[in-house]
Structure 1
Amino acid sequence: MKSLFTIVFLLIIQIFSAQEEVYANGIFNFEENKAQKIFTDWTRVRQEPNINSTIQDSLQTNQQILILKKEEKVLQLGERSANWYKISYQKGDKTSEGYVWGGNLAIGYRNKNGYDFLFGLTKTVDRKDKQFNQNVRQNVASIKVVEGNKLIDEVSFDTGSGESLNFGSFTIESNHKLKNVEFTLKAAVSGEACGVAGYDQYVLFKDKKLIALPQLMNVGDADVYYHTEEFIFPNDKGGIPNAFIFKMEEMEKDENDKEKKKSASKTYLWNGNSYQLK
């Protein structure tokens, strides 16, 4: 009898687990009737919004599309969860419609000096957490620079787990007075809940090349704890020529509600082509 109860209990757990709803990451929430771009090269266009549907076409990176409708169905691959979208697109003189998975679309895209820059997610991988001696799942993102439909360069970087994919942004900034740099790209993702890390990735653009700087991480838990990281560039207050300064500050309250703070900094030298730790 005890074995029977155990079997029934396990079946109930399996049923509830199967019914657990999957929610899309906020960064893959795209507006209807708005233009968007394909990020993943040779993204499959399907007849219906599911992974088993017939493939009717494939689209290259930087292909512009129009979002017609966001479907309710969500597909999770690794730590990435996104809705399916009904889209329309043009190839030559022909306009077609179909369905694509939102995780294959660009989180953000920009155009400058004749180049298109796209920010998106590429995959989920296992990374070794040395502190806890275990594997953790991490999403990998990248920034691509494209001229027409030709990929010029690409850099990749981690963006944490799915919890850190609630908000995303992609902007172009000045060269921050770094020698020979045309301008700077900044990609960012962050979560909604307390204690979920956000990540800022600065990338320099020069001579058709993308140069990723060390990644910045910020996290906080109400007024109990915070950890912040930032760069001080030459054009910032306190900046120095031909270098950028990494600054970290951390605060944690003890059992007596007393704040304990610590900070650190290090300087990276920039020679016009690359950087190195001073």
Structure 2
Amino acid sequence: MKQIILTSLLLAAMAPAIAQTADRLEYSLWPLEKGSSLSVYADKAYIRSSPSVQGTIVDSLLPGSPVIVDEVITANPLTMKGMTTAWLKTHYTTAGKEVKGYVWVGLLALNTLTKDGTTFVYGLEKRSVVSENEETLTVRIKALDKDHRILDMKEWTVPGGENARSSESKLLGEMGLDSVKEIFRLNFSGDACGLPTDYYYFGWNGNKLLTLPGKSNTFDAGAFAYTETLIFPKEVGGQPGKILKLMVSEQYGEDGETVESKTVKREVYTWDGNKATKQ
């Protein structure tokens, strides 16, 4: 049992250093399968005639504009804002005409969701090296209208490297929060045991993105599990005007299955229609 825990800790400690040496982002953060559709994240994305900043600009696209993946060009990655990513050979249709060209992956959204005429895109602003074994990613979410104009945005920093090998997002509805029309949830996950999955929540009131409490889950097979759960007013056990957070920590025994100890804590946040305040 102790050997399992030690091995997990060693792998978690070594992986970020390896990622730093490579000095690049894993392309797995973006869904780059051939034929898949991605959206522009940057305020303006140039489409070029070749996979290089020396390539002639053939078009430019606004945030939220869709492009189709034809091929990932890994032979000539570009580094900007601390991020090293590939170029895409892509095509899309504008004004009834098909346009073909190349776009740098770092200008594209990690995911895009649309509801009731508002489009939410999120992507990476930059990658920063904090120390030999630590890096961070600056993430930004943008709310767009049907004409691709930015209505509001939020920016924050998340752990990078092995802590951010995949990302997902989802629209949850208003969940009973006053003045909120939609809740946007996204997460970043590591790819090894013992690395957390961190969730970030934002409420949308039609004009502004409102920061909500987040949560984090961590699991190391046979060793421990830590789970946070948010309960909104509309959910079972929810309370009007409040967001509840349950935090459960479990330690497993030598057999890796029996729970030897368990602690449960709770936090309560009051919601005034604009922000959540921890009681």
User: What TM-score, normalized by structure 2, do the two folds share?
Assistant: 0.79
Aligned partner of 1:88 among 86, 91, 116: 91
Q: 1:218 to 1:79 in 2, by over 3 A?
A: farther
Residue 141 of structure 2 is matched in structure 1 by 143
Equivalents in 1 of 2:133, 2:211: separation in Å?
A: 25
Equivalents in 2 of 1:185, 1:77: separation in Å?
A: 28
Residue 112 of structure 2 is matched in structure 1 by 109
Within the alignment, does 1:188 sit opposite 2:190 as a pair?
no
Residue 26 of structure 1 is matched in structure 2 by 28
Q: Is the 8 A contact 1:67 1:88 kept in 2?
A: yes
Residue 263 of structure 2 is matched in structure 1 by 262
Amino acid at match of 2:240: P
Equivalents in 2 of 1:185, 1:101: separation in Å?
A: 26
Residue 11 of structure 2 is matched in structure 1 by none
Q: Helix, strand or coil for the counterpart of 2:159? A: coil
Q: Is the 8 A contact 2:134 2:161 kept in 1?
A: no
Equivalents in 2 of 1:125, 1:26: separation in Å?
A: 19
Amino acid at match of 1:70: V
Q: Helix, strand or coil for the counterpart of 1:207? A: coil
Q: Is the 8 A contact 1:28 1:103 kept in 2?
A: no
> Is 83-92 or 202-211 further displaced after alignment?
83-92
Q: Helix, strand or coil for the counterpart of 2:35? A: coil
Within the alignment, does 1:123 sit opposite 2:126 as a pair?
yes
Q: Is the 8 A contact 1:79 1:161 kept in 2?
A: no
Q: Is the 8 A contact 1:47 1:54 kept in 2?
A: yes
Deviations 1:47-101 (A, max 9, x none): 3334555554432211221222222335566775543210113444553222122
Q: 1:30 to 1:253 in 2, by over 3 A?
A: same
Equivalents in 1 of 2:195, 2:79: separation in Å?
A: 20
Equivalents in 2 of 1:183, 1:56: separation in Å?
A: 37
Amino acid at match of 2:108: L
Q: Is the 8 A contact 1:34 1:67 kept in 2?
A: yes
Aligned partner of 1:62 among 48, 64, 79: 64
Instruction: Tell me the CA shift for residue 204 of structure 1.
Output: 0.7
Residue 16 of structure 2 is matched in structure 1 by none
Deviations 1:169-209 (A, max 9, x none): 22111211111211211112212211222111111111321
Alignment of 1:201-216 (within 5 A): 201-216=200-215
Q: Is the 8 A contact 2:25 2:83 kept in 1?
A: no
Q: Is the 8 A contact 2:81 2:125 kept in 1?
A: no
Q: Helix, strand or coil for the counterpart of 1:214? A: strand
Q: Is the 8 A contact 2:213 2:276 kept in 1?
A: no
Aligned length: 255
Aligned partner of 1:45 among 44, 47, 52: 47
Q: Is the 8 A contact 2:177 2:273 kept in 1?
A: yes
Q: Is the 8 A contact 2:64 2:148 kept in 1?
A: yes
CA radius of gyration, larger in: 1
Residue 271 of structure 1 is matched in structure 2 by 272
Equivalents in 1 of 2:92, 2:186: separation in Å?
A: 26
Alignment of 1:245-256 (within 5 A): 245-253=244-252
Amino acid at match of 1:203: F
Equivalents in 2 of 1:229, 1:76: separation in Å?
A: 36
Q: Helix, strand or coil for the counterpart of 1:30? A: coil
Structure number with the bigger relative contact order (C-alpha 8 A, sep ≥ 6) is: 2
Any gaps of 5 or more consecutive residues in structure 2? 1-20
Equivalents in 2 of 1:105, 1:179: separation in Å?
A: 33
Q: 1:262 to 1:76 in 2, by over 3 A?
A: farther
Q: Percent identity?
A: 25
Deviations 1:104-136 (A, max 9, x none): 2112111111111112222123569xxxxx993
Q: 1:213 to 1:80 in 2, by over 3 A?
A: farther
Q: 1:254 to 1:51 in 2, by over 3 A?
A: farther
User: What TM-score, normalized by structure 1, do the two folds share?
Assistant: 0.79
Equivalents in 2 of 1:156, 1:79: separation in Å?
A: 17
